[in-house]
Amino acid sequence: MKVTIVDYNSGNISSVINSFEEVAKDKVNIEVTSNLDKIKSSDKLVLPGQGSFKSCVDALNNISGLIDTLNEYIINKKKPLLGICVGLQMFADVGHEEAETKGLGWISGKVSKIDNQNGKYKLPHIGWNQINIVKDSKIFKSIENNSHMYFVHSYEFIPDDKSVIAATTNYSSNIVCSIEKDNIFGTQFHPEKSDTVGLQLIKNFIKL
């Protein structure tokens, strides 16, 4: 089996690579590439994302044919994909970070700045926070509710269809921190930085 981490120059993804390689332990081929043919032939995709919504979407657009290839992979072939942080946010129709930017449109909704309640909550939201698992999601197998995950973000994904929400975290309000819709999975938190619990989630995704 081949799991491909899409490298589209969205920042440092070494911790994502290291955690997937640690979990795979030579039993699964982990590839890091933006090569369209290699992406097409992989069994599962990981879409990381660091930086702003706009910068990540721009980076995808800068690689000719990449978004079309992702659409074919996700929408038509319905193969599994895990989006991490901004990788999840880009599932939305639109993001409002830096400038209003069109997203991938895989899950209808928008990405908006977290309401910090007039400075009561610090932004970005950085650090460990408990998650509330609200859906029997395959990627949370053997993970206890109220586990702590590691977050770094100032914006939140607000889906139109609440049935896609797999987990939330309480920071200023109930923020969506994981979604599952058919073959599409996403986490706002960083599983690669969330110790053994995060590695379990990565293992669950690889085992899908």
Secondary element (H or E) of residue 151: strand 148-153
Residue 61 confidence (pLDDT):
97
**85 an active-site residue?**
yes
How much of the chain, in percent, has pLDDT values that exceed 70? 100
Token representation of residue 99: 């400038």
Marked catalytic residue, from 97, 125, 153, 190: 190
> How close are the terminal C-alpha atoms of the chain, in Å?
11
The whole-chain average pLDDT of the chain stands at 97
Domain spans in the chain, listed from the N-terminal domain onward: 2-207
Q: Looking at residue 183, what is its pLDDT? A: 98
Exposed e or buried b per residue across 134-151, where buried means at least 16 C-beta atoms within 10 angstroms of its C-beta: beebebbeebeeebbbbb
| pLDDT tens figures, 3-46 | 999 999 988 899 999 999 999 988 899 999 999 999 999 999 99
Q: Is 180 an annotated catalytic residue?
A: no
Name the pLDDT band for 96 (thresholds 50, 70, 90). Answer: very high
Task: Give the per-residue pLDDT at 11.
Answer: 81
- Rounded mean pLDDT, 192-196: 97
Short-list 7, 46, 50, CA closest to 28: 46
Percent pLDDT > 90 in the chain is 97
Query: Sorting pLDDT into bands at 50, 70 and 90, what band is 163?
Result: very high
Measured in degrees and rounded to the nearest 5, phi and psi for residue 14 equal -60, -35
Which CATH number among 3.40.50.880, 3.40.50.980, 3.40.720.10, 3.40.50.80 corresponds to the domain 2-207? 3.40.50.880
Overall average pLDDT of the 167-186 stretch: 97
Give yes or no for a cis peptide into 191 (omega within 30° of 0).
no
Q: Which of 56, 85, 125, 156 is catalytic?
A: 85
What's this model's pTM, rounded to 2 decimal places? 0.97
Q: Which of 97, 156, 180, 192 is catalytic?
A: 192
